Amino acid sequence: MDGAAALSAPEGDSVLERITKDVIAQLKSVYDPEIPVDIYELGLIYKVDFNEGVVDIEMTLTAPACPVAGEMPGWVQEAVAKVEGVDSVRVNLVFEPPWTSSMMSDEAKLELNML
């Protein structure tokens, strides 16, 4: 994972590598409905921890008044819960630090013609 988003766990390396890949794939399946880029590339995922089957995610929104603020954490929870080896997912919505476009990946910036 890049930036502040990091997956850590006391699991075997191969298991952690697979789960990391699968969690990232699932995070990339969730899109901000107002921006045609997934939440992972937008930089909305701040932290992901995995411990004994439990995934804890800290994420933000592009703005606190985002129209899907009440729904997006559930979308993330549902997506990540599909990963084999994940027993439960807890999503914590945070607003510190505030999201800025500088948190976006180059891929996202390219998609939005910002490069």
pTM tops 0.95, yes or no:
no
The C-alpha torsion from 72 through 27 and 78 to 20, rounded to 10°, is: -140
Question: Are residues 47 and 6 in contact, defined by beta-carbon separation less than 8 angstroms?
Answer: yes
Using the predicted structure, report yes or no on whether residue 11 has a pLDDT greater than 90: no
Residue 2: inside a domain: no
The domain in which residue 47 lies consists of 7-111
Using the predicted structure, report yes or no on whether residue 8 has a pLDDT greater than 60: no
pLDDT in tens, 28-84: 999 988 888 999 999 999 999 999 999 999 999 998 888 888 899 999 999 999 999
More confident residue, 30 or 5: 30
Question: Are residues 57 and 80 in contact, defined by beta-carbon separation less than 8 angstroms?
Answer: yes
Number of domains, the chain? 1
Domain harbouring 20, CATH code: 3.30.300.130
- Average of pLDDT values for 2-31? 77
Residue 78: inside a domain: yes
Q: Please give the pLDDT value at position 86.
A: 96
Residue 51: inside a domain: yes
Q: Please give the pLDDT value at position 3.
A: 40
Which DSSP category does 114 fall into?
Answer: -
The torsion angles phi and psi of 99, rounded to 5 degrees, stand at -70, 140
Q: Please give the pLDDT value at position 76.
A: 98
Q: Which residues does 70 contact at the CB level (< 8 Å), separation at least 6?
A: none
